[in-house]
Each structure stands twice: as C-alpha cells, then as structure tokens.
C-alpha cells in the first residue's frame, strides 16, 4: 500500500514512511492510493469472526509489508484489550461505548496502535523520534498514555490553556519522563497550526525527526475502523439498516468510518454531529466550506473551527458534494441543547451521557424523525466523569470516579507555558 499527498506535490510513500513523517513534504495529508473491498462472503460471515481477526483483515492491506503479520497481530491484540459495549438507550437507538480503555476516551485505540507501530519502526535506530501533537482534550491524554516510556520516542503535547477539563489536563501533565506538555495561550486551532508549521520548518527538521500523533497521522485514524466493525456486528442481529452518528471535531473518526464502508461494511448512513463549531454541517447545508474561529463549548474535544481531516472526507467522494450529502447528514447543537439532552436521557433511560455523546444522540433523534425503522448507533467517546463539572449539574447526581483516574488526579501537574510559534521553535531547537 502506498499513500499519496492530498496536495499532490510529493511522491507516494509506504505506510512506514507516512507514519514516521506524519504529513507529506508538501504539507498535504496522506491518503491510501487504493482500497480493496472485502469479499461479499467475508462481509456475510463477519459475525463468525473475532474482532481481533476482523481488525487484522481490515487493516492488513493498509500496512502492506511494513510490519510482519505476526507482529501486526500482536499490536492489534495489545491495542484491542478492552471491550466496546453496545448499550440500548431506547427503541432502535444505541450507545457504542468507546471509553473503556486506559484514559477513558475513544482515542486510546489509535494512540496505542500508533505507539506500537512507531516503537517497531524505531527499534534498530539510534535516532530519537519526536511526536508533536495538538489536542483539544482527549487526544493528549490518550497519546501520553500510549507513548509513555516508549523507547526512543519523546512526546510533546500542545493543549489550549483553560479549555480542557481537569481530568484531561491531569492525564497529560502528571506522567513526566518522555511526555512534555506545552500549555498554549490560545485555542486548539492555534495549537494545530503550530504543529503544522513546525513540520515545514527546515531548522527544526534538521534538528529533530518529527512525526505527529493527531488524527492527521494515518496510524491514528486507521485503527478507528475497528469501532465500526464492532458496533455493526453487534447491531446486525436486528436486520435493519444501520446508521452511525459520530460526534465530530477534527473528523478523523468519521473518515475511518467511511473507509470501512469502502471495505464493504454495509453502513446505511453517517451523521456528522458537532457543537457550535459547525463548519461541516453548514457546508452540507450551503455547499460553502468556510472555517470559523473556534468557539469554546462544554463538548471541548470537538472545539475545532477548521477540521483537518475533512479534506480526506471530501476525497472519498472526489469532492462531489451531492454524493457526500447522500451519505452524510450534518447536525449542530449548542450547549443548552446538550445539557438538556443529558438531563432528559438520564431521567428517561437512567443512562449517563457525556457532552460529546449527547450531541451524537441528538443527531440520531433528529435523523430518525424522517428515517424511522432504522438502527441508530451514536458513539459515546468519553467517560462522563471526564466532564463531571457539567454532567453532575445536569443529572443532579455525583459521579463515581473510576479507580484508574484517582491516582492521576492526585498527581502533580507539570507543564511549560508558551504563547506563540517562536517559543515552540525555541524549545524544539534547544539541546
């Protein structure tokens, strides 16, 4: 498998090179040159296979010969060592819980998979790799945990000051060792722009071997395909069309879902659900793509005003908006609607949503008005306790903190504060 740049000015790269580089030399995102669908027989018999087996079959063609099959199977087993429960909330509406990993967020899968790939690629090298990553919340904690103590890898995490939850911040700032958190005066888009700029800075690239662990990196979003297989298999017993509602920020998760569809998974429809950072729903409505300044919301992991991966989504449909709209519907909800949803679902179903899952649920409810008798699966992307300051007020209940987080919350915060690209560059160039 080779990967092309979406700017079309760089040569195609192998999986290994694309992972290590993160972004192409021409500043374009990598995308797979071709995708070979599963056989119809395999699709019919997916429910007879283990998720580990399905995951291997799904991702093998994207890896090519970059990782031996035995090693790849081990990486998958170590990545998928927790469950993705499908919980019925009400008739035909289900929550796919993606928060049962070590940092209680859906990004654990991508971070763990990528960390193990990089460790394998760098095992015989004396050159240290620097992972440079921007986060709006959950990515930072997942990457920090996934790469913690990985030999030959230093992780530098940029996060917006005051715009992540207490738990999210603690997960990034209490580990130490090879994890370096940079607290940025600004919003997520500022962090992301700094990361992209660093990749193009020749001075930095002469000094450091850079890669990214954002969903711009193919090794981050590819394993997110596994969620869709897990959810689809569990819901297929109902013999109804299956729709996935994806709370969306940088759109890596939705893109991974579209790739599973390309592989042949018969997903009926996708819902791209956002908070007030609604550039994509507006585009689907108007046909005009116009990024906005980031708006701070209670669903902070989706506070992205210019989602990097949407260009990949457009590429799937060859930039044909009519085809895109046929396959994806967009919805946007504000904080008041989100809070009301958390309260109502708890009172009606005794199920606790986090603010991101709530937005996914709301999208399904709207879509189902004109599309009845279909299964709707929304992705519950983070444990509600990570947003306890919001959720507890909505449900009027104290949330239990999982044991795995108690130690993290007691840890001492360490971060370096920066306000502009110059300060990031100075840090990356220092001996």
Supply the pTM of this predicted model: 0.91
Classify domain 83-103+221-401 at the CATH topology level: Rossmann fold (3.40.50)
- Selected catalytic residue, list 4, 16, 21, 107: 107
Looking at residue 431, its pLDDT comes to 62
Looking at residue 190, its pLDDT comes to 93
Ranges of each domain in the chain? 83-103+221-401
Looking at residue 337, its pLDDT comes to 98
- How do the pLDDT tens digits run along the chain, 431 residues long? 999 999 999 999 999 999 998 889 898 999 999 999 999 999 999 999 999 999 999 999 999 999 999 999 999 999 999 999 999 999 999 999 999 999 999 999 999 999 999 999 988 888 889 999 998 877 889 999 999 988 889 999 999 999 998 888 999 999 999 999 999 999 988 998 999 899 889 999 999 999 888 888 999 999 999 999 999 999 999 999 999 999 999 999 999 999 999 999 999 999 999 999 999 999 999 999 999 898 999 998 899 999 999 999 999 999 999 999 999 999 999 999 999 999 999 999 999 999 999 999 999 999 999 999 999 999 999 999 989 999 999 999 999 988 878 888 889 999 999 999 999 999 999 86
Looking at residue 137, its pLDDT comes to 76
Tell me if residue 404 is catalytic.
Answer: no
3-state SS record for the chain? CEEEECCCCCCCEEHHHHHHHCCCCCCCCEEECCCCCCCHHHHHCHHHCCHHHHHHHHHHHHHCCCCCHHHHHHHHHHHCCCCCCEEEEECCEEEEECCCCCCCECCHHHHHHHHHHHHHHCCCCCCCEEEEEECCCHHHHHHHHHHCCCCCEEEEEEEECCCCCHHHHHHHHCCCCCEEEEEECCCHHHHHHHHHHHHCCHHHHHHCEEEECCCCCHHHHHHHHHHHHHHHHHHHHHCCCEEEEEECCCCHHHHHHHHHHHHCCCCCEEEEEECCCCHHHHHHHHCCCCCCCCCCCCCHHHCCCCCCCHHHHHHHCCCCHHHHHHHEEEEECCHHHHHHHHHHHHHHHCCCCCHHHHHHHHHHHHHHHHCCCCEEEEEECECHHHHHHHHHHHHCCCCCCCHHHHHHHHCCCCCEEECCHHHHHHHHHCC
């Amino acid at each position: 498998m080779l990967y092309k740049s979406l700017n079309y000015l760089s040569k195609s790269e192998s999986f290994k090179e694309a992972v290590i580089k993160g972004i192409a030399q021409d500043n374009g995102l990598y995308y797979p040159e071709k995708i070979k669908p599963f056989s119809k027989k395999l699709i019919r018999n997916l429910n007879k296979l283990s998720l580990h087996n399905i995951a291997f079959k799904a991702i093998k063609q994207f890896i090519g010969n970059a990782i031996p099959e035995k090693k790849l199977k081990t990486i998958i087993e170590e990545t998928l060592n927790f469950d993705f429960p499908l919980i019925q909330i009400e008739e035909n509406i289900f929550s796919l819980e993606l928060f049962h990993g070590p940092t209680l967020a859906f990004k654990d899968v991508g971070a763990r998979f990528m960390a193990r790939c990089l460790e394998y690629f760098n095992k015989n090298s004396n050159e240290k790799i620097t992972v440079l990553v921007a986060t709006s919340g959950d990515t930072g904690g997942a990457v920090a945990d996934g790469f913690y103590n990985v030999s030959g890898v230093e992780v530098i995490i940029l996060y917006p000051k005051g715009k992540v939850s207490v738990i999210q911040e603690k997960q990034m700032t209490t580990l130490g060792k090879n994890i370096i958190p940079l607290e940025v005066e600004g919003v997520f888009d500022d962090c992301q722009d700094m990361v992209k700029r660093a990749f193009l800075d020749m001075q930095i690239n002469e000094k450091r071997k850079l890669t990214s662990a954002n969903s711009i990196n193919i090794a981050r979003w590819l394993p997110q395909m596994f969620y869709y297989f897990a959810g689809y298999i569990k819901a297929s017993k109902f013999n109804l069309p299956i729709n996935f509602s994806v709370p969306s920020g940088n759109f890596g998760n939705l893109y991974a879902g579209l790739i599973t569809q390309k592989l042949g998974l018969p997903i009926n429809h996708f819902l791209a659900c956002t908070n007030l950072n609604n550039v994509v729903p507006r585009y689907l409505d108007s046909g005009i793509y116009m990024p906005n300044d980031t708006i701070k919301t209670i669903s902070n992991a989706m506070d992205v005003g210019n989602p990097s991966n949407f260009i990949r989504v457009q590429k799937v449909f060859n930039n044909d908006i009519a085809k895109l709209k046929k396959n994806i519907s967009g919805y946007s909800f504000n904080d008041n609607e989100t809070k009301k949803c958390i309260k109502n679902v708890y009172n009606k179903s005794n199920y606790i949503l986090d603010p991101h899952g709530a937005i996914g649920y709301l999208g399904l409810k709207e879509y189902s008005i004109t599309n009845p008798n279909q299964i709707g699966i929304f992705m519950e992307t983070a444990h509600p306790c990570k947003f306890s300051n919001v959720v507890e007020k909505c449900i009027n209940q104290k949330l239990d903190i999982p044991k795995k987080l108690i130690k993290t919350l007691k840890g001492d915060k360490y971060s370096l504060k920066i306000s502009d690209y110059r300060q990031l560059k100075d840090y990356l160039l220092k001996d």
